[in-house]
Amino acid sequence: MAEENNAPNENTEAVEPTEVEQLEKQLDELQDRYLRVQAELANIQKRNLKERQDAAKYRSQNLATELLPVIDNIERALEIEVEDEKAVNFKKGVEMVYNLMIEALKNEKIEAINPINEVFDPNFHMSIQVQDAEEGQEPDTVINVVQKGYKLEDRILRPAMVIVAQ
C-alpha cells in the first residue's frame, strides 16, 4: 500500500508543474498585453497633444482664408489713382483699414508670399504663365506676381500665382 500512496503523489507533482507553467504563461501574456496597452495609451496621449498644439498653431487658418479675397480687393482699390480731395481722403481711410488688417495677419503669424525675382518653387508658387526670359533674367525665375500667396507658420494658405521666365 505504501507504493499506492507514492503513485498519487507522483501524479500530483507532475500536474503541478504543468499548472505552474500555464499560470506563468498566462502571467507573461497578461504582462505583455499590459505593456502594449500602456504603449498604446502613451501614443494616443502624444497624438492628442500634437493635435491640440496644431489646432492652437493653426487656429486662425479658416478666418485668414476667408479674408484673403477681401485683402485682394482692398489692394486693387488702393491701386486706383484719385485726384478729388474727398476721394483722396477716402483712399487714405481704406489704406488705414488695409494696414490694420495686414498688421492683424502678422500678429497671427500670417505672411504674404511675394516671390518677385526668386526661383520658382511649386511648393509656394503656382505658375499661371511662362514668358521668355529677358536679358538679365534667369530661367525658372518669378518675373511677375499676379496674386500674392499667403502662409501661416509653415503651412501654405494660398500659393502665389506667378509668371515665370523660361
Give domain limits for the chain.
1-57, 61-165
Q: Is 142 exposed, middle or buried (0-12, 13-18, 19+ CB in 10 A)?
A: buried
Helix, coil or strand: residue 104: helix
Percent of the chain that is helix, strand, coil (3-state, to 5)? 60, 20, 20
Mean pLDDT over residues 75-95, rounded?
Answer: 94
End-to-end CA distance of the chain: 107
Q: Is the pLDDT of residue 106 over 60?
A: yes
More confident residue, 11 or 164: 164
pTM of the model: 0.67
- The per-residue pLDDT of the chain, averaged, comes to 88
Q: Is the pLDDT of residue 1 over 50?
A: no
CA 20 to chain centre: 53
Mean pLDDT over residues 102-128, rounded?
Answer: 92
Q: Please state, for a pLDDT cut of 70, what percent of the chain lies above it.
A: 90
Mean pLDDT over residues 58-85, rounded?
Answer: 92
- CATH number 1.10.10.1400 is the correct assignment for the domain at 61-165: no
Lowest average pLDDT, out of 64-73, 97-106, 135-144, goes to 135-144
Please tell me the predicted confidence (pLDDT) of residue 17: 67
Please tell me the predicted confidence (pLDDT) of residue 82: 92
As given in the structure block, the three cell numbers for residue 49 are 497633444
CA distance 59 to 55: 5
Please tell me the predicted confidence (pLDDT) of residue 18: 86
CA distance 63 to 104: 12
* Strand stretches in the chain, DSSP E: 110-113, 125-131, 142-147, 149-152, 155-158, 160-165
As given in the structure block, the three cell numbers for residue 77 are 482699390
Confidence of residue 152 (pLDDT cuts 50, 70, 90): very high
Confidence of residue 77 (pLDDT cuts 50, 70, 90): very high
Please tell me the predicted confidence (pLDDT) of residue 79: 93
Residue with cell 508543474: 17
User: Using CA atoms in the order 51, 63, 95, 125, what is the torsion angle rounded to 10 degrees?
Assistant: 70
